[in-house]
Amino acid sequence: MHDVVGLRESPDEIAAEVARRMEAWYRERLPLIPGAREAVERLAERWPLGLASSSNRPLIDLALELGDLAPFFAVTVSSEEVASGKPAPDVYLEAVRRLEVAPSRAAAVEDSRNGIRSAHAAGLRVVAIPNAHFPPDEDTLALADAVLDSLTDLTPESVAA
């Protein structure tokens, strides 16, 4: 935004303002997809869960706190904590490293083009639930091992299939 749009603030100042506004929005209305908590609970009953996110650390922690989801995740990784963000595989590789699981024995649940590409590049099984507002293209969906219609369909069986 500094270079392309021409905002006079530094990139760090712009990022801080975006994070501040996102935090305020989360505190007003956390944008959890309907059924997300139930899906996380179902999967956490069977496996230790990791979160590999493009969000920054403060927003990850705030969302998990406000959504009362933190107890379900054994590890969380922000793309800020690795060399390259999605679609590079780094954030997923770090999550499985922290979980002490081989990528081939892990699965990712993703809704976006960059997320699906990241998890696929890391060697994880990819379960895609396409974002209804910004659906991934067909080439990206072809990288997924399974494509589900909704979080209701996200079960241990659909992940392990």
Under a CB-based contact definition with an 8 Å cutoff, are residues 116 and 135 in contact? no
Quick check: pTM over 0.85? yes
Report the C-alpha gap between 73 and 44 in whole angstroms: 8
Parts of the chain belonging to CATH 3.40.50.1000: 34-160
Under a CB-based contact definition with an 8 Å cutoff, are residues 124 and 106 in contact? yes
DSSP string, 44-92: HTTS-EEEEESS-HHHHHHHHHHTT-GGGEEEEEEGGGSSS-TTSSHHH
Residue from 52, 53, 47, 57 nearest 23 by CA = 57
Task: Note the pLDDT tens digit of each residue in 25-53.
Answer: 999 999 998 899 999 999 999 999 999 99
**Residue 154 pLDDT level (bands cut at 50, 70, 90):** very high
Q: Give the chain's mean pLDDT.
A: 95
CA 30 to each of CA 16, 42, 114, 140: distance values in angstroms, whole numbers, following the listed order: 19, 21, 22, 28
pLDDT recorded at residue 12: 87
Residue 104 token pair: 């081939």
Give the right CATH number for 34-160 from 3.30.450.20, 3.40.50.1820, 3.40.50.1000, 1.10.3720.10. Answer: 3.40.50.1000
